[in-house]
Amino acid sequence: MSYKLLLGVTGSIAIYKSLYLLRLLQDEGFELDVILTPSATKFIQPLTFEGLLRKKVFIDFLDSYPAGSDHVDLASTHDLMVIAPATAKTISSLATARPDNFLVATALGFPPERVIIVPAMEEGFWNHPATQKNINSLKGYGYHIMEPVEGRLASGKTGKGRMPEPRDILEFIFEVLTPKSKKPYTAIITTGPTREHIDPVRFISNASSGKTGVLLARELAFRGNEVILVAGPNVPSFSHRLVRRIDVISAEEMFNAVKEHWHKADVFIGAAAVSDYMPIEKYGSKIKKDKDLLTLTLKRTPDILKWVGENKGENQVVVGFALETDLSPQEAYKKLLRKNVDIGVYNRIGNDFVPFGSDYNSIVLMTRKDFKFFENVSKEDLAKILADAIENIY
């Protein structure tokens, strides 16, 4: 879905980040307009924004713009307004409904829940009781506040007040735009590979990147759900206030983490590529390369999905992934049903496509009602598809 976004920029040294944010938003397909306060133009000329935007920016009430392009129309024709950076003065004006410039007047025309405010200021300004009173008032009205971060400030000092990085602001925008779950839940997601060590330097594993599980955690958290992310080695980092990450190495460690938390979760998503076998004997030191043949005896690792299905409560939902080279979706789903799975996700791997590490995938979403086929879909979109499927039965 394409969104129309109004970017408001106020007079702060952090304004240079707004240019990068503008470019990121363009890359994501947002339709954009920009408002600068008069003080913002003292830091960066409007022409710089206009060069990237390829259209005029808005600055003042008296500027000559096409008829109807006033602050009221701007508020009614955009899905979201983002003020980044937002100075202490702008925050004060919004909190007291004082339309002392074109940007604030436009922002006041938006419903508060459609405005994101990204403060940037010195730590003393941020911690001042008046600023905190204004921030709390704005939160109470429904504005979305992305708090500043710790870092080096314009004064050269280090403290809280630095504008977050543009990519983090972009993530916050996506979260605000994500529809929230009507019935929030707690989900356990396993993701990535496991490693079953043979000796201190060698192990049995696979090429899973963990991208799918991380994107699922992101989507569920953006919808307001709590997530316990049990991640194997080298899974990409992702932090969110609703996501608790547990890093593991082996299938046994992953199994123990799931067992510890399943009783307090509502949904389980088994997206990890768990090693099926582990060495019976793990060598304490590196195996010497002094033989032409080396025989390893392996045993089965714990079947995490089977255990979860056997210990599923009446209102708990289980989602299982099936990565196959020769089974049909129907055969794979029968296999998953034996493990008491509610939703199955079928991945077929072959010479023409390997889903590990890819940004795209082709799956079959399988339920007791029907099978739905999704070809060459981004993993971000697949996360949305699966989140919708969970909410349909939870």
Structure tokens at 119: 């403060």
The DSSP bridge partners found for residue 244 are: 228
Burial class (CB in 10 A: 0-12, 13-18, 19+), 73: middle
Helix (H/G/I), strand (E/B), else coil: 302: coil
Per annotation, catalytic residue among 101, 127, 136, 206 = 206
DSSP secondary structure code for residue 324 in this structure: E
Task: Of 382, 25, 388, 366, give the one whose Cα is nearest residue 215.
Answer: 382
Q: What kind and span of H or E run contains 277?
A: strand 277-279
Residues ≥6 apart with Cβ < 8 Å to 340 = 309, 310, 312, 318
* Residues 87, 13: Cα–Cα separation, whole Å: 10
Nearest partner of 244 among 310, 314, 171, 188, judged by Cα:
188
* Catalytic status, residue 206: yes
Contact 210, 231 (CB under 8 A): yes
Q: Catalytic amino acids? A: 206
